[in-house]
Amino acid sequence: MLSTAFGPVSLTKAYVATVVLQLAGEGKLSLGDTVERWLPGLVPASDRITIRQLRNHSSGVPEFDQEPRILKPYLAGNLHYHWSPQALVRIAVSHKRQFAPGRAVRVLEHGLTSESLSWRHVGRVRRCRA
């Protein structure tokens, strides 16, 4: 049996970064755009968080991958449970910001950027851009 130490999020980071850079190269977004531009009113202080900060992990947006609410359906055996991107963002921002945007770097495991830009699942974004 083949096993791996890398979760799917580790794989999607490369796809998300590629799509973000492609969209920036096409002039459809700027790395300097604020989260507020793409998710108006959803993320507190989103007028001070840029796409660049989301991608380089300096936004201060809290992680949610170990959040008990997120894990509950999977730990109960419902491995096909699907969280909407909006619900994941709401859960993430329900926690205190880890630091002010641009003041530190922390590797985050969520796909907030891709969902902010398109509200599509990362896999669908990747297929559309392939």
- Specify the length of the chain in residues: 130
Integer-rounded Cα radius of gyration of the chain: 15
Name the active-site residue from 10, 30, 84, 94: 10
Asked if 10 is an active-site residue, the reply is yes
Burial of residue 61 (number of CB atoms within 10 Å: 0-12, 13-18, 19+): buried
Tokens of 75: 């730990």
Closest by Cα among 114, 107, 116 to 15: 114
Which ranges of the chain would DSSP assign to H, the alpha helix?
8-25, 35-38, 51-55, 68-75, 85-93, 112-118, 122-129
Q: Which residues are catalytic?
A: 10
